[in-house]
Copies of this chain bind each other. A is one copy, B any other.
Amino acid sequence: MRHQITIKDIAKELNISKSTVSRVLTGNPNVNEETRKKVLELAQKLDYQKNIFAHSLVTHKTNTIGIIVPEFMSSYFPKVIIGVQNIASKAGYNTIIAQSNENFETEVANAKVMMANQVEGLIVSVTKETKTFDHLMAFQRKEVPIVFFNRICEDMLVPKVVVDDYDGSFRAVEHLILTGKKRIAHLAGPDNLSISRRRLNGYLAALRKYDIEVDDDIIIPYDLQIDKVKSIINNLLDLPNPPNALFAINDPTAVEAIQAIKARGLRIPEDIAIVGFSNDQISGLIEPSLTTISQPVQKIGETAAELILQLINKELSLSSSIIKTLTTELIVRHSTVR
């Protein structure tokens, strides 16, 4: 790492005081126009870059927001990140990204890194394992704004960005019912995630509306471990009274289910219809294409970033527990309708 141009260098070169140089660099108006121009020119010529460590050390500003996501493999989180960066970069903020690999310890470690880097705000979607939130409440204690999205902690009084999972699920299941299916299984998510519960409730509400009896035997909670889907599906199909439709908690699960069902030689949607959730890129490409609920993914990221910026700028109270709920859309494809 070679020498870096500093304010001192510029001051010496121009034979003026460091503070004057600093003033022009920080946009302080009380500087002679002449001097200002000279400084700016030289800074430009020397390709001066402010030392952010020294800067942050004294100002406590880092111009950085952090984002922690559970995984990178589906197209969902990458898209959210793009949304966040869109907004953040416009406001002059850098983003530091960490992925926890659906692992709680990694999430805690990531939170530490964010803390060490003194992010001015943190956007988080927790892992499927996360049940305690001390590592995130530490930010609250230090009055660093947090915003949750997707996988949220309901107990923390901070802003959250979600989609209307309840409504989306309701319409997904209603759609199945309206295509004539009455025996609808549900692959549910882990119930420490409120998102799983909201989707489950939407499912239950739809059944209720159409006077369909709820059968716990075909509501299967699973831990989002994709490789378990196959055996779950096989168990379902081996039931004396197997389901003729399936509402899966998300698209990857639905896609896996489609594989398993095709492997058994059953027809989709005739023998069993399927709906997913999220409209992942893959859903339109698989055979049969997957009926699903689409969510405005990039918009979710943008909304979260906007909230964080408002919190940073004190336009919103830190303990505001505003919840931004974005709407979803039912995308009908061949897994439910030929």
Contacts and interface: CB of A to CB of B under 8 A. Distances in A.
B53 A57 contact: yes
Given A51-B57, A282-B281, A286-B287, A78 B73 contact: yes
Interface in A91-132: 94, 96-97, 99, 101, 109, 112-113, 115-118, 120
B57 A57 contact: yes
A57 B55 CA distance: 10
A142 B4 CA distance: 9
A81 interface: yes
A73 B305 CA distance: 20
A327 interface: no
Contacts of A89: 109
Interface residues of A, number: 44
A285 interface: yes
Given A72-B72, A75-B73, A282-B285, A1 B144 contact: yes
B82 A118 contact: no
Contacts of A112: 49
Nearest to A112: B49
A120 B54 CA distance: 17
A113 B99 contact: no
A89 B98 CA distance: 12
Contacts of A109: 89
16 contacts: A1-B60, A1-B118, A49-B112, A52-B53, A53-B56, A72-B82, A73-B75, A73-B79, A73-B281, A78-B99, A82-B99, A96-B96, A96-B97, A282-B282, A285-B285, A286-B287
